[in-house]
Amino acid sequence: MIVAMQEGAEPEQIQRVIDRLVTMGFEVHRSTGERQTVLGAVGARADFDIRDVEVMPGVQEVHRISAPYKLAGKSFRPEGTVVRLKHGITLGASQVPVAAGPCSVESRDQLMRAAEAVSRAGAKLLRGGAFKPRSSPYSFQGLGEEALKLLREAGDKLGMAVVSEVMAISQIPLMSAYVDVLQVGARNMQNFDLLRELGKVRKPVLLKRGIAATLEELLLSAEYIMAGGNYEVILCERGIRTFETYTRNTLDISAIPIIHKLSHLPIVADPSHGTGRRDKVAPMARAAVAAGADGLLIEVHPDPDHALSDGAQSLYPEQFAKLMDEMRLIAPAVGRSVA
């Protein structure tokens, strides 16, 4: 932590800040310039609130020096993390696997048709929602365990890994029995109780960025999972809230190269939620691959016009197949391959 005192800060004010820093467990280096005094506080503690110093009299500003995350930081594994799933699927290596499927699992028929279509087009993971708490109490709320069974069955039949969202601690055991990757939704990115429990699980976790979360906060949430011993975390960019209203969210493609600089964890993109509109999914999926994404999450429905949820952002199977072809052409430009 670096503390810059105000010009004209009084000696007692400076001393009080030094005392406080020492009490907090820091070793303090003082450098007195012509105009102002700057204090460098070095120490092992990562868990402190810099505002405690910021509000002290005589303090101009405070900067945290070391990143508040350690396990999620690049230096922890400079070579990068590769998450390995069944069927030889990897995230973080040269493959760029695509997870596709419907927003919600609605029926056996719907899921099988979706799964076959996306598998045929080259998707390696099958995605689908089992629990869908919705903004209206009258909307479809998901098939629950039945959905998980169908996902598992389809995945096994087609040689795909399965990913689905876990929304509560109580669902972890049930979901772990069926899925290969546990997804944490944007709204739960800072549900620390849930993250803590996922740290104890031995399954990869796909952690979505909250719509108002900075990348530092995303990495802090990853850190929370990793602190529990589960190092298999896949980050996911799915759009942030900005002043632009044409799309639901603004898919922040720059998150991909930034995360690659700050962290060793793989990062995937979700252009379906990131744009909220079918006609914007393909361009943004291509952009994500070109920017170096380690994977993609794309909603595909056999009949989007009759989807029970998020039909407007679901691709038709033929649109998805065309998009896969385009992404296959792009990936080699960044030394990667889309299967």
CB of 278 to a copy of itself, least distance (A): 5
DSSP state letter for 161: E
CB of 89 to a copy of itself, least distance (A): 23
Closer CB to a copy of itself, 162 or 205, in the complex: 205
Separation of alpha carbons 251 and 248, rounded Å: 9
Closer CB to a copy of itself, 128 or 276, in the complex: 276
Q: Is 223 helix (H, G, I), strand (E, B) or coil?
A: helix
Those residues whose C-beta lies under 8 Å from the C-beta of residue 63, and which sit 6 or more positions away, are: 1, 2, 4, 50
CB of 243 to a copy of itself, least distance (A): 5
Q: Are 37 and 44 in contact (CB under 8 A)?
A: no
Instruction: Give the chain's length.
Output: 339
Closer CB to a copy of itself, 180 or 310, in the complex: 310
DSSP state letter for 56: S
Separation of alpha carbons 172 and 156, rounded Å: 21
Closer CB to a copy of itself, 127 or 286, in the complex: 286
Those residues whose C-beta lies under 8 Å from the C-beta of residue 296, and which sit 6 or more positions away, are: 96, 97, 98, 99, 268, 269, 270, 271, 285, 288, 289, 327
Give the torsion through C-alpha atoms of 108, 112, 114, 118, to 10 deg. Answer: 150
CB of 161 to a copy of itself, least distance (A): 26
CB of 107 to a copy of itself, least distance (A): 19
CB of 201 to a copy of itself, least distance (A): 15
Closer CB to a copy of itself, 66 or 157, in the complex: 66
Closer CB to a copy of itself, 78 or 202, in the complex: 78
